[in-house]
Structure 1
Amino acid sequence: MGDLSPSDMPPDIKAEVKASLTVQQVVQMESLDEVKSMVRTYAENVSDPCVR
């Protein structure tokens, strides 16, 4: 299972992996204000009413 390349994965799994990588990058940030700013920007950019 660990030998799968990203091209072998279905798109939804690719998106999930990409999201988890983004979360890791956010966790590595030391500035909480920067994280808050990113979250706020993301929330404003999401048009799905369920997310707000």
Structure 2
Amino acid sequence: PPLPMFPLLPPLPVSPFPRLPVSPSPRLPVSPSPRLPFSPSPHPSIYPGPL
């Protein structure tokens, strides 16, 4: 049975959705999806960010 304090809390520290800037994986600072502006790939060509 679900907890009474957790019926549906959208403001979670980590989102399960790949569309959000937060990755479901605690190891990656961002989502591994190539569609996002940030990628865990070491290739700088797909790294539009400061990295």
TM-score (norm 2): 0.25
Instruction: Give the helix-richer structure, 1 or 2.
Output: 1
Q: Which has the higher contact order (CA 8 A, sep 6+)?
A: 2
Q: TM-score, structure 1 length as denominator?
A: 0.25
